[in-house]
Structure 1
Amino acid sequence: MDFAYSEEQRMLTDSLRRLVTDNWTYAKRRERQRAGVMDQSAWNSLVELGVAGLMVPQDFGGFGESPATMLVVHYELGRGLVSEPAISSAVMGTTLLANSHNETLKSQWLGALAEGEAILSVAWQEEGERYALRPLCTRATATEKGFSIDGRKVLVWHAACSQALIVSAVLDGEIALFLVPSDSKGLSISDYPTFDGARASTVGFESVSLSSEHLIAKGEEALALLTQTLDFGITALCAQACGAMQALTDITIQYLKTRKQFGQPLANFQVLQHRLADMLTHAEMALSSTYVAVAGLDEKDAAKRSRLVSMAKVEVAAAGRFVGESAVQLHGGMGMTDELDVGDYFKRLSFADQLLGDTNYHLQRMQDLGH
């Protein structure tokens, strides 16, 4: 796979960087966090640049772009700590639905996703089950009109601003995936902020009725779809983390150039130069690993794809911790305050380690899938 930017990718990168620089400043991010709801105008600005329709097939009104372009986009979003549902909906929800065989739902939802008129969230985690893909407590039963769902999902990313949820449930002893409109009777959403300033929810289902067309997939097909979806989401998350590391390194370099000690800039001290070099090395290793994961998304062997993605997630998590901790330390006491961007980037990088599978989970997955 060629990772040299094409002319279109360079233009997209330039436009995204300008947008993020203007609309995701420290002050504007904090204002959105205090509001506690998704800023629709901020999301619309991303939609206008094609972020929402990036992974939507062209037949359904999207751009049908490659994973390489996904990396380009999410790297820039990571530089600005964008918290809108670019991964949860524009990557994960879109990827799952687009690769399914439910043509009715694809016709109904993919065009709306590309236009930014709808947001999808994937609800798969359950309390006490950590990152397990197979549901235990959320169950679906067949009815005369379709299905009824009961259960509870936790840590559902951006559920409160979504128009529908893709929900995993046990159906006839097998995993099944359903598309559940957010306004369905019996569905409850309890929204809360996450550590890094985004939003997540606990979602309850009490006899939620669905027609038969809302079944996306079941059995091994459903498990394969969910696994593929998470692999795409993890890779986009890695790309955003790499963008955040680059931005945080740039901020730290600028600080050391302007802050003086003993009459000279801190950047002149060799020991601090060595730490900066280590930060740059870790960030570059993380980006290289993310390139490998992006290339792996095109693998026909699902086990190999997932193994490459897990390898990248482990590398990016370790690099993120090192870069974040180093930036805080190099800023001295100011690095611990809430008045600087440094803490925001450190939180995002720390949270990225836990999101969509922590290091222990991915190390175990690599072992299970073989070397």
Structure 2
Amino acid sequence: MNFDLTDEQRMLDDAFARLLADKCDFETRQKFTRAAPGFDPALWEAMAEMGLFALPFSEEAGGLGGTAADTMLVMERAGRALLTGPVLDTFVAAPALLSQDGSDAVLSLIEEIIDGAVTVAYAAKDATGQKVTAEAAGEGFVLSGKKSLVRYGAEADLLIVSAELNGAPALFLVKSDAAGLTRTGYPTQDGQRGAEVVFAATPAVQIAGDAAALIAETEARLLAAACAEAVGAMQALLDQTVDYLKTRVQFNVTLGSFQAVQHQAAEMMIATELARSMSYFASMSVSEADAEARARRLSAAKVQINRSAREVGQKAVQLHGGIAMTMELAAGHYFKRLTMVEMLFGDFDFHMDRLSALGGLGE
């Protein structure tokens, strides 16, 4: 398998890296995470101007028809920069859920997403067991129920909601100004935002297609994207830790001169490279047509990503000492984000159980 980047992918990676270095340094990020919407609108506009939001949409939907590898590159850079905002749902979930719906209304929304004018929150299956139900109302539908832990659910312009319709899964679009919609936002520990969203006979438009298949594919793409983001965060944390060990002086010598410390840093590097390999594997697996094989591969990838994220995060905090627990140092913020990514789309135990139930990787 050839893992070399194409010239276009190198250009994409370099351009996005320069944009983030210019507009998303740690101090700027901290300023925007203190209050809603939790991200820099000017940076979001610049990302749209780069064509990033067009990249994952199909050409038929007005996008650029980017690949899973392109998504991996973007999300890894986002992880390195600790990028905040509804990136996962706007850049990954929305293209997976909307590209196949060729209606004029959806194509118009896609155009606004690509232009950066509309942000998206995906209110997926609620981890707390709560559910939303849909019923026909005139020529449309209304939703009732509650979703918790919705990423940027109070700030997004458009909600994509999974709901139960006549006992079967269905997907709906809900605009932020819809009647009967209540959104309560809050900050999360990693500098991102979450929300509790309540639907009370809220008007919604159904998304065409096989909802169950779309949800499964979207969850696969989101998991692979989260893996890539985690790898970016691990790499940044490794780089920052090594730089700290080269400059921090203790007992009149740099910390990095101690062999035991070097071993810890080497273990961080090994864990990061293992995670990177499994991130590649996850990105390659999202297009697998066999749903069971895809689930096995993605669970295997998430198991290693979670294991590596914990090892890299904990060792980075240990090697930085007490300063890593302060708000002023980026290391602690990377650690928090990695901890949250561990829980996204299934934690270590969930994916170990799923992998076991499916008979292991088997490849």
TM-score normalized by the length of structure 1: 0.92
Query: Which residues in structure 2 correspond to 1:150-229 (within 5 Å)?
Result: 150-210=144-204, 214-217=205-208, 221-229=210-218
The alignment status of 1:47 with 2:48, answered yes or no, reads yes
Q: Distance in 1 between matches of 2:16 and 2:126?
A: 35
- After TM superposition, give the deviation of residue 160 of structure 1 in Å: 2.3
Match of 1:128 in 2: 128
Q: Distance in 2 between matches of 1:61 and 1:53?
A: 7
Query: Which residues in structure 2 correspond to 1:230-309 (within 5 Å)?
Result: 230-309=219-298
Matched letter for residue 359 of structure 1 = F
Q: Deviations over 1:69-100 (max 9, x none)?
A: 111111111100001222111111221111x4
- After TM superposition, give the deviation of residue 61 of structure 1 in Å: 2.6
Match of 2:343 in 1: 354
Q: Distance in 1 between matches of 2:127 and 2:350?
A: 16
Gaps in structure 2 of 5+ consecutive residues:
none
Task: Indicate the SS of the match to 1:152.
Answer: strand
Task: Indicate the SS of the match to 1:8.
Answer: helix
Match of 1:369 in 2: 358
Q: Distance in 1 between matches of 2:102 and 2:141?
A: 16
Contact 1:20–1:80 (CA under 8 A) maintained in structure 2: yes
Q: Distance in 2 between matches of 1:149 and 1:16?
A: 38
Quickly say closer, same or farther: Cα 1:334–1:69, change in 2 above 3 A. same
- After TM superposition, give the deviation of residue 254 of structure 1 in Å: 0.5
Contact 1:311–1:366 (CA under 8 A) maintained in structure 2: yes
Matched letter for residue 19 of structure 1 = L
Q: Deviations over 1:241-265 (max 9, x none)?
A: 1011001000000000011122221
Q: How many residues align?
A: 359
Identity %: 39
Task: Indicate the SS of the match to 1:65.
Answer: coil
Match of 1:96 in 2: 97
Gaps in structure 1 of 5+ consecutive residues:
130-135
Query: Which residues in structure 2 correspond to 1:21-32 (within 5 Å)?
Result: 21-32=21-32
- After TM superposition, give the deviation of residue 217 of structure 1 in Å: 4.5
Contact 1:67–1:297 (CA under 8 A) maintained in structure 2: yes
Contact 1:167–1:180 (CA under 8 A) maintained in structure 2: yes
Match of 2:307 in 1: 318
Q: Distance in 2 between matches of 1:39 and 1:222?
A: 33
Q: Distance in 1 between matches of 2:195 and 2:287?
A: 32
Matched letter for residue 47 of structure 1 = A
